[in-house]
Amino acid sequence: MDLLASMTTFAKAVEAGSFSAAAESLSTSSQVVGRHVRMLEDHLGVKLLNRTTRRQSITETGRSVYERVRTILAEVEAAEALAAESRAAPRGKLRVNAPVNFGAHDLANVLPEYLAAYPEVDIELTLSDRQIDLIDEGYDAVFRVGELSDSGLIARTLRSVEMILCAAPAYIEAHGAPVTPAGIRMHECLGFAHGTTRDSWSFGGPNGIETIDISYRLIANNGQALLTSALAGLGLLLQPTGLVRNEIATGRLVQLLADYTAPVRPLHILYAPDRRITPKLRSFIDFAVKHFGTESPHRS
């Protein structure tokens, strides 16, 4: 038997109030409606409807079965809609938020590839280092650096953000360079106003993790401003690899404490736990995972 068809017909008979009304709604005959109801009753081994020539009534068991059938049919409809959406071409505006450094130096470099692959999607990219409320502020996806709070959002783990300590050759010539993390205390430092590196810097080395309390003459909430200051010779800079990579490659900055490693910072892409995820969002998440590495999704 076609169990799903029998469930659909039974639900329609309950809602319409009679076999004839259900048959008209389903563009079939009363006999076919009756056959489906009897088949479902036989399958379940219970009486669902009491019917005479003049009236129809639902049994107590039939009422309970009807409520479950409605849930099943709704889930089937949702699954069909989800499958239809997955086949649809991504289109529409996608609102994305990212931390300034990552957004400007990593994400922006690969967005042209995404836009070329999905010509019907437009991206509105906002860069900010403050904690964004994805749902209240209407974003489709948010990249976040650092440990996650319990937000109820779905999180895809991307590759971690590596940090590099560096300084301009002019600063090193004037002040020398630290050879151990403890030596940083003798130098001018450029501080980032957000996150765990605001008040202390940590490095792993032969003696394990060493954490150095930092005081600054200049602290800013923007990595690009700190990079400009470092290039001018104002002090030591601890920032993500993506921000300083080109400057180190060209010799405008010099990597320091190369035998030590700064702890990496986790990177995630977050989105709302909506089981009917849109094609544009699904395509963007897959694209981000492809370019920035991934682990299994989890709730944050």
Q: How far is 142 from 161, CA to CA, in rounded Å?
A: 16
Pick the CATH number of 163-255 from 3.60.40.10, 3.40.190.10, 3.40.630.30, 3.20.20.80: 3.40.190.10
- pLDDT value at residue 151: 73
Tally of CA atoms within 13 A in the half-sphere of 184 that contains its CB:
26
> Which pLDDT band holds residue 298 (cuts at 50, 70, 90)?
very low
Beta-carbon contacts of residue 152 (< 8 Å; ≥ 6 apart): 273, 299, 300
pLDDT tens digit string along 98-109?
988 889 888 999
> Which pLDDT band holds residue 297 (cuts at 50, 70, 90)?
very low
Question: What fold is seen in the domain 92-161+265-299?
Answer: D-Maltodextrin-Binding Protein; domain 2 (3.40.190)
> Which pLDDT band holds residue 300 (cuts at 50, 70, 90)?
very low
* Percent of the chain's residues with pLDDT above 90: 55
The DSSP secondary structure of 23-46, one letter per residue, reads HHHHTS-HHHHHHHHHHHHHHHTS
Residue 197 tokens read as 């590196």
Residue 261 per-residue DSSP state:
B
pLDDT tens digit string along 176-190?
999 999 999 999 999
Give start-end residues of each CATH 3.40.190.10 domain in the chain. 92-161+265-299, 163-255
pLDDT tens digit string along 78-118?
888 777 766 678 889 999 999 888 898 889 999 999 999 99
Residues 30 and 19: beta-carbon distance below 8 Å: yes
Q: Which helix (H) or strand (E) element contains residue 155? A: strand 154-161
Pick the CATH number of 3-83 from 1.10.3720.10, 1.10.10.10, 3.30.590.10, 1.20.1250.20: 1.10.10.10
Query: Which has the minimum average pLDDT: 12-16, 149-153, 285-289?
Result: 149-153
Residue 184 per-residue DSSP state:
G
Average pLDDT over the chain reads 88
Instruction: Tell me the C-alpha to C-alpha distance, in Å, between residue 122 and each of 126, 207, 281.
Output: 13, 50, 11
pLDDT tens digit string along 27-68?
999 999 999 999 999 999 999 998 876 788 999 999 999 999
Residues 9 and 37: beta-carbon distance below 8 Å: yes
- Provide the 3-class DSSP secondary structure of residue 168: coil
pLDDT tens digit string along 166-215?
999 999 999 999 999 999 999 999 998 876 777 889 999 888 899 999 88
